[in-house]
């Protein structure tokens, strides 16, 4: 279809030429003789007003479509934004099977994907319920951190929720225009099964259930079913680690190449380097397999971004104290 468009456009233009009595330089139509529309192009018609107006309209539409298709290939500038400060945690608590005695530094982040197609996407929403979770140091509400790079909460077009733990979903009500994307099975577990007998509620805040349902009743919730699904041009989601019932991670067509926002499907670089699972997953083996798969999905494993590792902030070019740009040539 796209190959045919230049010829089609020229042919329409030749018809418009006869309508408007203009001269078109050269035989542009013959240049595009591969199109099937040569006959239409060569036709000398009289002024047929309704049809001619439709042609002008179609010409405008085709030209706009063609050049918008050429002008973008859906790439994204990617930023990591830390909305809490850094905390030390023993390695043994984040990597099952590790014999290390030292500590590792963690924080909590959201990720901004700024597309050349006009989409301004947030991966995860952070949290706002500081009364329930007062132990995070140096907390700043995620929408306030976004303002450091001139993004207002209303600007967010899409919000991809990797999983419904409080520090990833609690801020969804901060972004009024965003379409929320979440795995269907994770949604159902979160709003129902988790709270029933034998359900797992670790990391879940029941107040977030009502926020999510509100998004649904506003028509701003899209449930995704399955693995390797392109939900937005240049954005593909994957499942497999089962950090929650059906947590997902995001493969982004980034400016530096394929980039994975792993969120909690990899907590720390340590987990990725040692291929050790975290203690919170329904499937430890699946968690490790998901990390191995992530390595295969990108050409540069530096472009796999873990969910809670403060190293992210020193590894990539700094934008502000809390924000880095995820791109190659990192340290
Ligand atoms: Zn989590």
Residue 319: give its domain's CATH number.
3.60.15.10
Q: Among the three residues 17, 40, 71, which one is the final residue of a domain in this structure? A: 71
- E-state strands within the chain: 76-82, 87-90, 103-106, 109-115, 120-123, 158-160, 179-183, 221-224, 229-232, 235-239, 248-254, 257-263, 304-306, 318-320, 323-325
Residue 111: what pLDDT? 98
Residue 56: what pLDDT? 56
Residues 47 and 111 in one domain: no
Neighbours of ion ligand 1 (CB under 5 A): 165, 264
CA 203 to ligand 1 center in whole angstroms:
7
Residues 62 and 210 in one domain: no
CA 70 to ligand 1 center in whole angstroms:
39
Q: Flag residues of the chain having pLDDT under 70.
A: 1-72, 329-331
Q: Find the Cα–Cα–Cα–Cα dihedral 267, 220, 202, 132, rounded to 10°.
A: 100
Residues 61 and 189 in one domain: no
Q: Among the three residues 71, 92, 114, which one is the final residue of a domain in this structure? A: 71
Residues 103 and 15 in one domain: no
Residue 55: what pLDDT? 62
- Does residue 41 belong to any structural domain of this protein? yes
CA 169 to ligand 1 center in whole angstroms:
10
Could you tell me the residue range of the domain that residue 57 belongs to?
5-71
CA 243 to ligand 1 center in whole angstroms:
7
Residue 7: what pLDDT? 40
Residue 64: what pLDDT? 53
Q: What is the pLDDT of residues 268-307, one digit of tens each?
A: 999 999 999 999 999 999 999 999 999 999 999 999 999 9
Residues 94 and 60 in one domain: no
CA 78 to ligand 1 center in whole angstroms:
21
Distant-in-sequence contacts of 192-199, Cβ < 8 A, 24+ apart = 193/245, 194/245
Residues 52 and 155 in one domain: no
CA 72 to ligand 1 center in whole angstroms:
34
DSSP 242-305: -SSTT-EEEEEEETTEEEEEEETTS--HHHHHHT---S--S-HHHHHHHHHHHHHH-S-GGGEE
The answer to whether the beta carbons of residues 186 and 144 sit under 8 Å apart is no
- How high does pLDDT run on average in the chain? 85
Residues 40 and 135 in one domain: no
User: What's the total number of domains in the chain?
Assistant: 2
The answer to whether the beta carbons of residues 267 and 261 sit under 8 Å apart is no
Q: Among the three residues 71, 98, 119, which one is the final residue of a domain in this structure? A: 71
How far is Cα 250 from Cα 122, in angstroms, rounded to an integer? 11
CA 23 to ligand 1 center in whole angstroms:
65
CA 29 to ligand 1 center in whole angstroms:
59
Residues 48 and 160 in one domain: no
CA 165 to ligand 1 center in whole angstroms:
5
Residues 100 and 49 in one domain: no
Residue 190: what pLDDT? 98
């Amino acid at each position: 279809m796209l190959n045919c468009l230049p010829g089609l456009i020229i042919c329409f233009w030749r018809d418009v030429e006869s309508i408007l009595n203009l001269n078109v330089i050269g035989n542009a139509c013959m240049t595009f003789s591969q199109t099937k529309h040569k006959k239409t192009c060569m036709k000398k018609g009289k002024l047929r007003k309704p049809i001619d107006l439709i042609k002008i309209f179609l010409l405008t539409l085709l030209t706009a479509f063609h050049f918008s298709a050429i002008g973008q290939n859906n790439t994204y500038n990617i930023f990591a934004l830390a909305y809490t400060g850094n905390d030390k945690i023993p390695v043994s608590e984040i990597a099952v099977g590790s014999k290390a005695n030292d500590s590792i530094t963690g924080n909590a982040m959201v990720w901004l994907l700024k597309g050349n197609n006009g989409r301004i996407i947030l991966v995860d929403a952070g949290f706002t319920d500081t009364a329930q979770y007062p132990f995070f140091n140096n907390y700043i509400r995620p929408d306030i951190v976004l303002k450091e790079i001139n993004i207002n909460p209303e600007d967010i077009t899409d919000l991809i929720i990797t999983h419904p733990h409080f520090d990833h979903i609690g801020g969804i009500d901060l972004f009024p225009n965003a379409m929320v994307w979440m795995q269907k099975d994770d949604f159902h577990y979160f709003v129902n099964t988790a709270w029933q007998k034998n359900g797992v509620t670790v990391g879940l805040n029941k107040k977030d259930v009502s926020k999510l349902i509100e998004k649904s009743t506003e028509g701003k919730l899209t449930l995704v079913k399955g693995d390797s699904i392109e939900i937005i041009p240049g954005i593909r989601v994957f499942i497999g680690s089962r950090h929650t019932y059906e947590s997902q991670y995001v493969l982004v067509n980034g400016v530096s190449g394929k980039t994975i926002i792993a969120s909690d499907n990899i907590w720390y670089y340590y987990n990725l380097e040692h291929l050790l699972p975290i203690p919170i997953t329904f499937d430890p083996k699946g968690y490790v397999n998901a990390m191995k798969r992530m390595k295969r999905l990108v050409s540069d494993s530096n472009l796999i971004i873990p969910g809670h590792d403060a190293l992210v902030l020193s590894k990539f070019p700094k934008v502000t104290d809390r924000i880095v740009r995820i791109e190659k040539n990192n340290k």
